[in-house]
Amino acid sequence: MLISSHSMDGLQTENTGLNSINNENTEEQYRALAYDTALSTLVAVVFYVVVKVSLDGIRQWRARISVLIVGSGPVGLTAALVAVRSGKVLKLTLLDERYRTALLCRPQQIALDPRSVEFLLELGVDFDNMEGCWHNEHFFTKIGVFQEYLLSILEQKRQKVEIKVQLGTKFTEEYLRKIPGSDWPRVIVVADGSCGDSCSVLGISSDYTVESCHAYGANATIERLDQRQVPTPEIRAHSLFFDLSAYGVEALREPKSSAVKPGFHLKIYGTFRNRYMALVCPASDTKMVRFLRHTANSSIMKNIFHQSFNAYKTDIEPRLNDLTLHRMQCSRRLFDIQLSHRRVSAAYIEGDNVSVTVEGEAVRVLNFDTGCGVNLGMRGLESLGTFIYHTATAVDQNDMLEALSAKIQHSRQVAETFRQTGLAHTMFE
């Protein structure tokens, strides 16, 4: 049978058309399958993410831990408020070896600077209901009054958080052994002051880094039992020079140096009954500074404080005279102002799954009293709430260590910032 070339061409064209249609159908099927697969995968991923985020959110929302705070001074009590405010504390235990009477009868005055005032306001502290006085945005009150007020706030928080205040109880290894395993705290805050030994009980290194603040200073105290024990604003004086010609020092004949700030800075603070003075100058090598740093005559600094007090005291308080001068105690000479801070300010006890942070004077202390020392402790507490939150919501040990690392970094930054600018804010300005 014969088939013409025209017939062959028609068959080939028809076959080609059919193959093209089949290919297009196959490609459409592949595209549809790929689209369905991608859509299914996307839905599964979105579903997984939504479920995971929801479960993590629920877990974080429900996360609650037990916190133990050692020390109920101003920093320890403020740390307790921070912990309660974090919303992640199920049980809070506050420990102090002093009894309530000894704790609340402390007459020393503390000065809260504007930054500390703002921090405490966020924690619910109402300064209008606390005995004290305002001056230049600083709040002045007695330590006992401040502590009693914070304890009253904690009493009000008992409805939301289980709070146990154990006064007259010392933090020791025996105390730790008596804690049942199920009641062990996840966070321990050590705020027992510069003389406390809680860090040694927990095995935290006692090594300190001591750094100069590039200034020299001296302190004096006066106790007058016939005066009132009420909060009093501080007095500041700047660019002071002292006539030491009687001791062979002619300060005014020294060449002026533009690189050295002139004179001394003086602060008078405390209640009228317990008066304190701080004298400070930037580090320099002038003749007067060298003399006051190395003199063996202890009466020189006493005369300087005597004259300074009578020149800058308030009008309503009596002058110091030769009969009352013996009530004043002061530094023998100028000394280098130094800040000491712990090399290890936070630690993780792996076996017990406990994070420890050290606060206040237990972690950093200044060898020079400016009357604003409590503010340095408050700075460290500014990261405590975040630390407690991250510890409570930690999934594994890596999360715990990240939280500790951030807390340590903040502690170091607090020390460095104060060393660089702390005296400028508390004395020079």
CA-CA distance, 120 to 138, in Å (whole number)? Answer: 13
Kindly state whether residues 185 and 229 are assigned to the same domain: no
Kindly state whether residues 267 and 310 are assigned to the same domain: yes
Q: Which residue numbers in the chain have pLDDT < 70?
A: 1-24, 45-63, 250-262
Q: Please tell me the predicted confidence (pLDDT) of residue 254.
A: 55
pTM to 2 decimal places: 0.83
DSSP symbols for 357-400: EE-GGGTEEESS--S-HHHHHHHHHTTHHHHHHHHHT--SHHHH
The answer to whether position 23 is within a domain reads no
The answer to whether position 250 is within a domain reads yes
Instruction: Return the beta strands (E) in 1-132 as ranges.
Output: 65-70, 89-96, 109-112
pLDDT tens profile 195-217:
999 999 999 999 999 999 999 99
Kindly state whether residues 219 and 284 are assigned to the same domain: yes
- Asked if residues 83 and 388 have their Cβ atoms less than 8 Å apart, the reply is yes
CA-CA distance, 80 to 189, in Å (whole number)? Answer: 9
Total domains in the chain come to: 2
Kindly state whether residues 363 and 244 are assigned to the same domain: no
Q: Please tell me the predicted confidence (pLDDT) of residue 321.
A: 86
Q: Which residues contact 281 (CB under 8 A, 6 or more apart)?
A: 215, 216, 217, 261, 263, 264, 265, 289, 334
Q: Indicate the burial class of 288 (C-beta count within 10 angstroms; 0-12, 13-18, 19 or more).
A: buried
CATH of the domain at 407: 3.50.50.60
Kindly state whether residues 311 and 361 are assigned to the same domain: no
CA-CA distance, 226 to 255, in Å (whole number)? Answer: 46
Paired tokens of 79:
């740390």
pLDDT tens profile 303-361:
999 999 999 999 999 998 877 788 899 999 999 999 999 999 999 998 888 999 999 99
415 lies in which domain range?
66-207+351-428
Instruction: Return the beta strands (E) in 178-308 as ranges.
Output: 187-190, 208-223, 235-240, 264-270, 274-282
CA-CA distance, 192 to 75, in Å (whole number)? Answer: 9
The answer to whether position 50 is within a domain reads no
Integer angstrom CA distances of residue 281 from 73, 220, 235, 267, 292: 30, 15, 17, 12, 11
Q: Please tell me the predicted confidence (pLDDT) of residue 350.
A: 85
Q: What is the three-class DSSP state of 145?
A: helix
CA-CA distance, 117 to 111, in Å (whole number)? Answer: 10
Kindly state whether residues 230 and 359 are assigned to the same domain: no
Kindly state whether residues 109 and 202 are assigned to the same domain: yes
- Asked if residues 356 and 93 have their Cβ atoms less than 8 Å apart, the reply is no
CA-CA distance, 8 to 375, in Å (whole number)? Answer: 101
Kindly state whether residues 202 and 255 are assigned to the same domain: no
Alpha-carbon 352 to chain mean position: 25
The answer to whether position 195 is within a domain reads yes
The answer to whether position 13 is within a domain reads no
Kindly state whether residues 282 and 182 are assigned to the same domain: no
Paired tokens of 94:
């506050």
Q: Please tell me the predicted confidence (pLDDT) of residue 58.
A: 46
Kindly state whether residues 231 and 330 are assigned to the same domain: yes
Kindly state whether residues 177 and 219 are assigned to the same domain: no
Sheet holding 133-135, edge to edge: 109-112, 138-142, 133-135
**Closest C-alpha to 360, from 403, 405, 402, 414:** 414
**Closest C-alpha to 283, from 73, 176, 405, 423:** 423
Q: Please tell me the predicted confidence (pLDDT) of residue 21.
A: 61
Final residue in a domain of this structure, among 337, 359, 384: 337
Kindly state whether residues 179 and 254 are assigned to the same domain: no
Residue 209: phi and psi, rounded to 5, are -100, 125
